[in-house]
Amino acid sequence: MGCLPVERLDHYTTYLILDITPSAYLPGSKEREAITAALKRVGSTVEEVPIVIGSKEYKTEHVQYQPMPHNHKKKIAKFYYATPVVENALNAFFAKELTKYQPISEDPKSTLNCLCLDDLKYAAGNYYINDKSTGSVVGQQPFGGGRMSALTFYLEVLASNLGRGEGLDGFVAAVSPFNFTAIGGNLAYTPALMGSSVLWKPSDTALLSNYTIYKIMIEAGVPPGVVNFVPADGPVFGDTITASPYLAGINFTGSVPTFNRLWLQVGKNINVYKNFPRLIGECGGKNFHFIHASANVESVVNGTIRSAFEYCGQKCSACSRMYVPESLFCFCSCFLLLFLFSASVPVFCFCSCFLLLFLFSTSVPVFCFCSCFLLLFLFSASVPVFCFCVCMSEIIGGGQYDESCGYFIQPTIVQTKDPLEKIMTEEIFGPVLTIFVYPDKDLDKTLKIVTDSTPYALTGAVFAEDESFQKRCLDDLKYAAGNYYINDKSTGSVVGQQPFGGGRMSGTNDKAGGPHYVLRWATPQSIKETFVPLTEWKYPYMG
């Protein structure tokens, strides 16, 4: 990792940024040995995590704990919810300190130091915390548990942009999800990169890994107060930030109901603010794999297994609905079921297994409640209340769960006769894939259902060797997915290559990881200077 100055224009410097190739964690490698040693330390401590505002730490009487999803009796972090006392401290801090900090982008050394620390000093520990707190396994958190590859890309964007931009006139509230640690760093530190002060509310179920990122950034040289670490109850946090006149933006990843609530509150308080707050949100999806009769079955099956079941189906881009023609269903279903029967999962071996079958932790955030309800009751024949959702469906593989020690959900494949059933239209955040088998002659009708049956439009994939059909789908499905894949799985976008985000109820589609996203957190200023004195007020046409 390095930073080489190339040229300087006024106070802008162009940097050539040298990134580190993501570790493969191959058997026998040093990084594999390091993470294995870190994993063995699980259960030894409960780390205490304070609220941090500026350079001061706060602890309140509202004590919370973060458990391990795969062993919910074990707590790995003790933390505190913010209270009105903390709210008063925040108001005082922002009233005094908002304009104090220069953009991190004008001193890239701290960002690059962060990347070096994350990749070298903290890599094993970060994976350890991430794997144990979210249940992911090695290789399933793209670019590492806490790596800030997005920030290096954003520095390159800023280096190529010769305009003048300042941070927003106020603070940005960053609300990060439980499922991807790196997103937390992206949500909080991208606005900071442009010079904004940030109020970061981490997810209760990813708190320790997010706090690790925060500590890395402080050690790397980001001044205290640029990003403030504030665990809080969701509604309380939302009410507090939307009532503040200093709110300049919300950078959000989470559920549609939560984002809707924040947007509604901003609208109600619009006359309170110094600025019109910028709202950026990514809200998940009901992602699809559409299979054409000309598709390569092997590619379909392998891509769907990775998309639907990797990381327990908890990626916001995970495939949860699949449309298969009758002519290919026998082949596709057989190979998918073979996977279910062969996927053995050693619980404490995060390097050797493909997925760890847990869903969520005890402290279920609001945006996980729907998944909780669906997945724990969907598979239980003794719960007739859920019959409205599965009456046209049949579980053809999996369908078991065990919450005695951890929250484990078996990878499950459901076949439905109704493409408009709830299980085909509503988000299920877990390892559940629902297949609708369509008659080959109903291709056009089924393709229309893909777009019209759900309010989401995050990711989707079309598998077909027929190039004319692929060209047609590019037009027919243009509003069905913000990230669209051709003969590839619906997950795995890469910073700088496939900027990520969706439209409709999947979010504002501002494309994190792309060149425009970072500029959304800047206030641009156009400057004109005249070098020739103006000697006449009349225009030439006036004579």
* Residues with catalytic function: 282
Hey, is 437 helix, strand or coil?
Answer: strand
Given a contact cutoff of 8 angstroms between Cβ atoms, the answer to whether 322 and 356 are in contact is no
Q: What DSSP character marks residue 521?
A: T
Q: How far apart are CA 2 and CA 268, in angstroms?
A: 47
- One DSSP character per residue, 114-150 reads HHHIIIIISHHHHHHHHHHHH---TTSSTT-SS--HH
Q: How far apart are CA 260 and CA 455, in angstroms?
A: 14
Per the listing, tokens 């007739």 go with 384
Which of 40-46's residues contact partners 24+ apart within 8 Å by CB, and which partners? 41/128, 42/68, 42/74, 42/76, 42/128, 42/132, 42/348, 43/74, 45/76, 46/75, 46/76, 46/77, 46/78
Q: How far apart are CA 40 and CA 303, in angstroms?
A: 32
Helices marked H in 477-537 — which ranges? Answer: 515-519
Given a contact cutoff of 8 angstroms between Cβ atoms, the answer to whether 245 and 274 are in contact is yes
Instruction: Determine how many CB atoms are found less than 10 A away from the CB of residue 129.
Output: 27
Which of 21-29's residues contact partners 24+ apart within 8 Å by CB, and which partners? 22/143, 22/144, 22/147, 23/123, 23/144, 24/139, 25/138, 25/139, 25/351, 27/351
Instruction: Name the β-bridge partners of 52.
Output: 57, 229
Given a contact cutoff of 8 angstroms between Cβ atoms, the answer to whether 120 and 481 are in contact is no
Q: How far apart are CA 346 and CA 354, in angstroms?
A: 10
CA atoms within a 13 Å half-sphere pointing along the CA-CB vector of 394: 5
Q: How far apart are CA 71 and CA 73, in angstroms?
A: 6
Per the listing, tokens 């997950």 go with 491
